[in-house]
């Protein structure tokens, strides 16, 4: 029978980061199990790749304050490139309520150590980006170290480094069950045979609840389709622009290759595993795009290049990290609600700490425990895209 000190279910960017951090901490007998033929075919490969520290809650800010510098130093740490580009995030406020919200968040961000974030007056936004329609904008906020990474490159870098330090990766292998003995994890059943282990990490993304159910654990994670629309090459808006968020409706966009990548969370979406792109979405998002950036009326779009992926949503839009008391040895790294790529480095560090040492100083891990739902201790994140 195969054995491993730690089995990680899911080889996306979260599972890969956990494997990397475990091997860096000296735990070399790590087995990552990925059901697809290649890594990143789930949410990782469909991500927009944004990374930001402009959050509303302390726990998310702290995770970003570990993750973004990690991505900036990724090649030095892992030997591989993350594709990090510090082009910033620009939030556009269209009401005093928005401005007050951004200001309150910024005070919390600065108190936790984020230095390069500031409020921008309308005149400065107009000077920097005259192509924006600004008749309803009253100001905004900008953080220069926010930006984007290449999710696939970062995932690959994490896993390659982990394997160089002893981790194993099984592709085209599905976990089909857990072996529990007296309330403790003893192993997993897979399509490649059983594996004996005392520690299993559920990093199964949008399929987290299905994996947890095999261990008789309920995890409140639901899949939600998110669609992204890339443009063809377009040079009438600067490619040095930040991720730009219209707070009036949630429309956001960023430069991508020679064009732009457009995103908007359709409020009509309902939880499902549907990953088919809906061609009708193109017209919906282009209305928002042209409304905020009038020259985007000319933005060339090929609907065949658009795609859909899955967010893994929790009731309070925060992840579920840490051990499961009812199944000793089972750890969760689930429910990132769209922030899995940006918080993958911090998640790897937190899970590695909890598995090896039983505690972490990166965050107050109790805040993100599974038990918070039963105890009614939800921590709502309002800055969700």
Sheet holding 259-263, edge to edge: 117-120, 139-143, 89-93, 243-246, 252-256, 259-263, 222-230, 307-313
CA-closest candidate to residue 347, choices 45, 15, 31: 15
**pLDDT recorded at residue 380:** 73
Reported pTM:
0.97
Structure-block tokens of residue 89: 């995030």
Please say whether the structural domain 85-146+223-313 has been given the CATH code 3.40.225.10: no
**Block mean pLDDT (10 aa), the chain, length 385:** 97 98 97 94 93 97 98 98 98 97 97 98 98 98 98 98 98 98 97 98 98 97 97 98 97 97 95 96 98 98 96 96 96 97 98 98 97 91 65
Q: Where are the domains of the chain?
A: 2-49+151-221+315-374, 85-146+223-313
> CA 207 to CA 185: how far, in whole Å?
20
The CATH number that domain 2-49+151-221+315-374 falls under is 3.50.50.60
* Maximum alpha-carbon separation in the chain: 67
In CATH terms, are 2-49+151-221+315-374 and 85-146+223-313 the same topology? no
In the chain the first and final C-alpha atoms are separated, in Å, by 45
């Amino acid at each position: 029978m195969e054995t491993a000190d730690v089995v990680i279910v899911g080889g996306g960017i979260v599972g890969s980061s956990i494997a990397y951090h475990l091997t860096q901490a000296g735990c070399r007998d790590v087995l990552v199990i990925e059901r697809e033929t290649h890594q990143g075919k789930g949410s990782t490969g469909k991500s927009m790749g944004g990374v930001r520290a402009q959050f509303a809650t302390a726990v998310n800010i702290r995770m970003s304050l570990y993750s973004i510098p990690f991505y900036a130093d990724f090649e030095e740490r892992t030997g591989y490139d993350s594709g990090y580009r510090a082009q910033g995030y620009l939030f556009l406020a269209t009401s005093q309520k928005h401005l007050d919200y951004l200001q309150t968040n910024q005070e919390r961000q600065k108190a936790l150590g984020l230095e390069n974030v500031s409020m921008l007056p309308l005149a400065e936004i107009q000077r920097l980006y005259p192509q924006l329609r600004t008749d309803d904008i009253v100001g905004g906020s900008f953080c220069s170290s926010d930006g984007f990474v290449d999710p696939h490159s970062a995932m690959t870098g994490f896993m390659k480094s982990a394997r160089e330090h002893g981790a194993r990766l099984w592709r085209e292998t599905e976990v089909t069950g857990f072996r529990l003995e007296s309330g403790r994890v003893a192993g997993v059943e897979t399509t490649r045979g059983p594996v004996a282990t005392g520690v299993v990490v559920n990093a199964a993304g949008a399929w987290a609840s299905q994996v947890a159910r095999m261990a008789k654990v309920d995890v409140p994670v639901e899949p939600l389709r998110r669609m992204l629309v890339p443009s063809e090459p377009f040079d009438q808006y600067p490619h040095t622009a930040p991720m730009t968020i219209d707070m009036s409706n949630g429309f956001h966009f960023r430069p991508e290759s020679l064009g732009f990548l457009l995103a908007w969370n359709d409020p009509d979406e309902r939880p499902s595993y549907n990953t088919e792109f809906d061609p009708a979405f193109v017209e919906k998002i282009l209305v928002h795009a042209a409304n905020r950036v009038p020259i985007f009326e000319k933005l060339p779009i090929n609907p065949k290049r658009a795609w859909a992926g899955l967010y893994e949503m929790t009731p309070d839009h925060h992840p579920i990290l840490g051990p499961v008391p009812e199944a000793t040895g089972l750890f969760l790294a689930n429910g990132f609600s769209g922030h899995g790529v940006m918080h993958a480095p911090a998640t790897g560090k937190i899970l590695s700490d909890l598995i090896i040492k039983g505690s972490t100083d990166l965050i107050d891990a109790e805040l993100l425990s599974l038990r918070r739902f039963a105890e009614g201790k939800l921590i709502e994140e309002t800055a969700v895209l």
